[in-house]
Structure 1
Amino acid sequence: MAMLVDPPNGMGNQGKHYYSMWQTLFEIDTKYVPIKPIGRGAYGIVCSSINRETNEKVAIKKIHNVFDNRVDALRTLRELKLLRHLRHENVISLKDIMMPVQRRSFKDVYLVYELMDTDLHQIIKSPQGLSNDHCQYFLFQLLRGLKYLHSAEILHRDLKPGNLLVNANCDLKICDFGLARTNSSKGQFMTEYVVTRWYRAPELLLCCDNYGTSIDVWSVGCIFAELLGRKPILPYTPGVPLASMYPHAHPLAIDLLQKMLIFDPTKRVSVTQALEHPYMSPLYDPSANPPAQVPIDLDIDENISSEMIREMMWQEMLHYHPEAATAVNM
């Protein structure tokens, strides 16, 4: 549980209060009341909270010492820039970024997201039964959110069950956009981060620089196979028919899975083609899936200084707190 504690050195900042969770200090805006920690990862600790101004439950993610690692700092900045523009019911919503007290010396970043109950990785690991309807609905939402991203010329590049958040009513939202890039400026994918190989497209395993949206489709295929079989499809024995691997799956599900897992990316189905596949016909309505309004610019100079990254993060925070633009910050 979250424990209210005294501020460090007995000197708190106005508008902030302090909580200890998992031996980590949270300095958060007083309008948020933490409930309990719900997750810990390489990039921070997440706690569930209540916004007492709206009575809405949210998730607060603390990224500690964000500037200690340039790659992590750039990853965080990229996600902030992207999520400010994304508005889709199958993409996680960033509701707030807490303003730090010191503009030029802050070290931690607090992100406020809509609260979800679990992720697809936990569901796959659980003893909970998954019917064809469950698998179909999860796949539909994943493809629907991905179509929106691709319409904005965004490649996610790190799709896996742990990056797909789910609510008790089976609503699914794509999260974790730190590796996302525009289709025209994909950057140094292979050197900056090693994505889980179980979901990585063959063209990336072959170190091909000329890749596109089809890499995300391959990842979706791997995730769908994992839903059907309750374990990763890779590694697997070559030559074994998918219908034999998943004997209880719907024949149309197997057909779509085969089309998403074609090795040649030029022959692999697109997200739109996957949504138009007969397996998706009970759920897909093209008129209810509008594209993004405009492509999103994610270009960031990889060589900028930590001070510039900090300033760019500050500018992102101002979009959520325009009143702070006129405040004096040191």
Structure 2
Amino acid sequence: MEGDSFSTTSLGISLKLRLSTSLQSCLLAKALTASSVLLSTPRRTSMWRSRRLLMRLTTRSMLRELFARSSCFGTWIMKTSVVAIRDIIPPPLRETFNDVYIAYELMDTDLHQIIRSNQALSEEHCQYFLYQILRGLKYIHSANVLHRDLKPSNLLLNANCDLKICDFGLARVTSETDFMTEYVVTRWYRAPELLLNSSDYTAAIDVWSVGCIFMELMDRKPLFPGRDHVHQLRLLLELIGTPSEADLGFLNENAKRYIRQLPHYHRQSFTEKFPHVHPSAIDLVEKMLAFDPGQRITVEDALAHPYLTSLHDISDEPVCMTPFSFDFEQHALTEEQMKELIYREALAFNPEYHQQ
């Protein structure tokens, strides 16, 4: 496999995509007011087709989205499993704009829609999707960035089975401990350390999410569909078992006391609970769903796991050469300053506007 022609051609895999909706082509985000807006009616161009799509973004989440992709990922993004921005249309008035138009590369649907559909999925489909998620995550983590909101609806697909990670609105750099306490990760894909209010978390939270997503893909239903925070923790402990004292080392004393007062749960056999899943896949998932984040498998080791041997090619799994930092998060920016940052990013995509 070559980095600039990464596809399923040699695998003979494709999706029929018998779905009524297609997503993620030309995206319009009303950033400064965080309200919904509607795209233009469908049209076709040489690069993308516009489709109707609702999207809410705050100004800061838009800045993360733009900075993570343009400043960090650059031209390499087209060779990764991360969805690329094709264009940012500069607002007509630099000082007073409220809307920002962003065009993403065209993808046909997302993994959530596929899982909920009648689309037949083979073992090869699921294996290949997992590989691409990990491949994209390797690049993201190598840029010193945590995604923090991995879920099926943030994984875009086309009919060739190409998968792209999207939505960096909750992304953070790994060293930003000051910003680690806010809401992260949709509940069903949230790692134990987040459920137990650990603020000093790592890239392992994304790995946990991938494990949940993969099992949802294989089982066609969520692995831990918790109704609330407490129910979510109970569901995962019922499967992976009550952690040992050694596995509680990363938690604060309050969290340790809470775990100790819960009923004791024996670990279930993944092989017996999921008999239709390949034993090698079970082994990988168990390593992804380790309670202790320090014992959880890394993305690099997951890519090298025997389950992915047929796909793993380290020469075709790029890393980001320049780690990124969301510098704007370190300052209390005014609305005018945030507008200026967004406008500059738009000009970077369209330098000809600077001459006008």
Whether the TM-score (by the shorter chain) exceeds 0.5 is yes
Give 1:8's aligned residue. Answer: none
1:65: how far off?
Answer: 9.2
Is 1:138 matched up with 2:129? yes
Q: Shift of residue 276 of structure 1?
A: 0.6
- Whether the 8 Å contact between 1:59 and 1:113 is mirrored in structure 2 is no
Cα offset, 1:287, TM superposition: 1.7
In the alignment, structure 1 segments of 5+ residues that lack a partner are: 1-34, 67-71
The structure richer in helix per residue is 2
- What is the TM-score with the length of structure 1 in the denominator? 0.79
Contact 2:61–2:169 (CA<8 Å) still a contact in 1? yes
1:45/1:262 Cα in 2 relative to 1: closer, same or farther (>3 Å)? farther
**Structure 1 range deviating more: 232-241 or 127-136:** 232-241
Q: Which residue of 2 aligns with 1:229?
A: 219
Assess if the C-alpha contact under 8 Å between 1:49 and 1:57 holds in 2.
no
Number of matched pairs: 284
Which blocks of at least 5 consecutive residues in structure 2 are unaligned? 1-24, 227-234, 240-266
For the pair 1:74 / 2:60, whether they are aligned, the reply is yes
Choose between structure 1 and 2 for higher RCO, CA contacts under 8 A separated by at least 6 residues.
2
Counterpart of 1:303?
A: 332
Q: CA shift at 1:241, angstroms?
A: 2.1
| Cα deviations by residue, 1:208-229 (Å, 9 ceiling, x for unpaired) | 1211111110010010110111
2:280 equivalent to 1:252: yes
Amino acid at match of 1:261: L
* Greater strand proportion: 1
Cα drift, residue 63 of structure 1: 8.1
Q: TM-score, normalised on structure 2?
A: 0.74
How far residue 80 of structure 1 moved from its aligned partner, in angstroms, is: 0.7
Q: Return the alpha-carbon distance in structure 1 between the equivalents of residues 89 and 122 of structure 2.
A: 41
Structure 1 residues 298 and 143: CA distance shift in structure 2, 3 A: same
Runs of 4 or more above 3 Å deviation: 35-39, 41-52, 58-66, 235-239
Q: CA deviation at 1:56?
A: 1.8
Structure 1 residue 180 corresponds to structure 2 residue 171: yes
Q: In the TM superposition, what whole-angstrom CA distance separates every residue of 1:57-94 from its partner, at most 9, and x where no partner exists?
A: 2457888896xxxxx11011111111113213310010
Q: Report how far residue 188 of structure 1 moved.
A: 2.8
**Letter in structure 2 aligned against 1:256:** L
Which range moves more in the overlay, 318-327 or 95-104? 318-327
Match of 1:69 in 2: none
CA distance in 1, matches of 2:339, 2:54: 13
Q: CA RMSD in A?
A: 2.7
Work out whether residues 27 and 53 of structure 2, in 8 Å CA contact, stay in contact via their aligned partners in 1: no
User: CA 1:290 to 1:104, structure 2 compared with 1: closer, same or farther past 3 Å?
Assistant: same
Within a 5 Å distance, the mapping from 1:1-330 to structure 2 comes to 44-45=37-38, 52=45, 55-59=46-50, 72-84=58-70, 85-86=72-73, 87=77, 88-191=79-182, 193-234=183-224, 235=226, 236=235, 237-238=238-239, 239-300=267-328, 301=330, 303-327=332-356
